[in-house]
Amino acid sequence: MKKRTNHEFDIQHKGLALGTHQFDFKIGDSFFNNIEYSEIKRGNIDANVELIKESTMLILNFDLQGSVELLCDRCLENYNQELKGDFKLIVKFGEETEEISDEIITISADSNAFDLTHYLYEYIVLLLPLKHVHPDDEEGNHTCDVEMLKQIEEYSETKADPRWAALKDIKLDK
């Protein structure tokens, strides 16, 4: 990840009272542009974070809703992918920062703030489908660019290599 010049996604936990606190973040294009190697360049996501502060840990419940712009794997055109999901992160206070598991990390007890940037990005990526394609319409038809699909099909037609065709005639005796 790139270094940020502001602390827009930090939570100042040091001065917070024990108990439940709400934080709302708007994630837009600048968020994704500040992340090195991000496949997402545009998006609009609301991140609601419930923080439960206890004496030895922070419990963070993330609720993410919105959309990101992705490149369609089928027709190579951009489309908006709707996203919605919930995640939980437990942040324990300890000697040094380390990741214990996907849901539990340890940070220094001396820290004043906790930066959510990395976790917000990772949760958004986890919400992306494996295959990036335009969503189907109400009738179940794909909504990809038809002209582009025709061009791709035209260029991808390949003739069978005669060397491989000759191998099909060989029969193995057992």
Phi/psi of residue 142, each to 5°? Answer: -70, 155
Kindly list the domain boundaries of the chain, sorted by start residue.
10-135
| Mean pLDDT in residue range 16-20 | 92
- For the question of whether the overall pTM of this predicted structure is more than 0.85, the answer is no
| Mean pLDDT in residue range 58-73 | 95
In this predicted structure, the answer to whether residue 14 has a pLDDT above a threshold of 60 is yes
Q: Per mean pLDDT, which range of 74-78, 86-90, 101-105, 169-173 is the poorest?
A: 169-173
* pLDDT for 96: 81
d(CA 146, CA 143): 8
pLDDT band with cut points at 50, 70 and 90 for residue 65: very high
